[in-house]
Structure 1
Amino acid sequence: MKKLLLSILSIISLNVFAQPDVKFNITSDWGTGYCANINITPDQGYDDWEMVIKAPGGINSLWGANSVPIGGGEYKITPSPWKIPIATPFEIGFCGGGSSSDIEIISQSFTPTVTEVISEEIWIGENSSAYLNTGKEYYMVGINKDEPEASLHVGTNTSATSTSIVIETEGSDNAEINFQSGTGVSELNFQNGDLSDISSLTFSKNDNGATMSFYDKINSEEVIKVVDGSLYSREVVVQTDAFPDYVFSSDYNLASLSEVEASIDSLGHLPGVPAAEQVEEEGMSLSQITTIQMEKIEELTLYLIQQQKEIEALKKELNNLKK
């Protein structure tokens, strides 16, 4: 991979390194003292800033920032910790002694929020994949979020249902999302509008292979777990469009037991049931196996009823012979 050099980088850099609009004005002057304002209008976000103000008569009070005397009647002005980064207009006010005509802004320096991203670390890979490196241990990027709370925070500005992220590939390429964890598990969390957890999907690795778990965080319980191809759950609800009560219909064609025996001899399995080889190769849905098993149970019930009737008839005939 090589560092991307763009002809427009200089234009972008001009915007990145542009200084905000700074206006200084005296609000009151009584000869032996004064009060003044410094109005700052940023043209973008800034991570930090500082000014040096010359005030030979001293600064008696200052609000909206911090001041430190550095000698020679000069003061270094820096932002309050809770007021950075900045991206909106703000005002600094101060009062001091002496003549207002002696007040002067010696220097000013503003550090743009995106300086190090744009000017130093934009990379492009062999497959045109872009990488951003801020040089910081931890950095957060927001899309439609001016105060991101994660490494990547994507928001939407509409109350209607909308898609926040689309992953699209062309041709036969696969659309993939990779979760890479350190020593822990990979977890996908689902939250409500008030940021309370609803559920989570976790993936982990153990001696038996991969494990996937679905947690109900409202009731604090694991509801689904998949381990080494086996699914664990308290209950599975299967929906089907045709349940075999049709077996009890008067027009149902119930095969005779001799026909069933012939099918078993010919096919090696019950009629209407897939062969073992087919199930082993293709699998079988819960809905399908449940329906087939219920059909066979109901057919077996009909056979038992028939046999019971035959038994009762034979008993009656036997009793008549005994008389």
Structure 2
Amino acid sequence: MKKTLSIIGLTVFGMLFSQDIAFNKLYGNSDPVNYYLTHYPVPGSDGLDIKWYGGIRLQTTGSILQLLNNGNVGIGTIEPQTRFEVAKENSNNKNVVMARFSAYGATGGSNMISIGYHNTANLELNSGYTSSGFRYGDYGDFNIENDNEFNASFGAINFITNKKIQLAIKPNGNALLNGKFEAKEIKVTSSPTADFVFDENYDLPRLEDIEKHIKEKKHLPEIASAKMMEKEGVNVGEFQIKLLQKIEELTLYSIEQNKQIKQLQEENKTLKSESEEINKKLHHILSITK
């Protein structure tokens, strides 16, 4: 019997070492679902598949790659706050975030893309269903604040410094600038222009009425007062048209005054000629009476 068992054992042992055993799965913590090291097929070869419920950390003396169980991935940090975060240690051995990238599905409450660079410039760019578009601000302005969506057609863009919006581009196409604007050239398109002043049926205001309005209101008709401009601002396009309208009205006044001046000059010339004739006749009469 012992001889028979020995022969069977040797046979099985020989069979085990006479062929390759395919690597299938190694697992730990008695939990093959959440803790394992295995492989998966790819065209022409295999891929390495590692799953560890608590996360995976690859570390060298110079860097670290961290994969958390919430899906966040970090390079240079063991606590990435977004889907992808790059950080490095500063002189005080503290991690400083260099860049962030986040993309959450709509089921997660937002659909956001964020790229941030945190140094003295404190730059962050983000967009999403519940983010506030592109932002420029200090560290912490990454927080979701409103329901704007950024994309090619509907998004808002905010540039923030010192926790204050300096430049905002709204979904309706309007832009807000909190500060001075300087450019080599500005083109404002608006319609219609003020050429209606030159229409034959245009009712040109009387200068007497304009004078009365100025005395009472202290500003030109159809032009907002200084207080109103300070309170509500000025629409550059509309204001330029109004100024053009007043210039064209002044042109018509000037043309009319020029006609009147020429007419007066002709009348003055006639009167002067008649006066000279009268003086000649008087001189002739006086010479005869002498």
TM-score, length-scaled by structure 2: 0.48
Structure with the higher fraction of residues in helix conformation: 2
Larger RCO: 1 or 2 (CA < 8 Å, sep 6+): 1
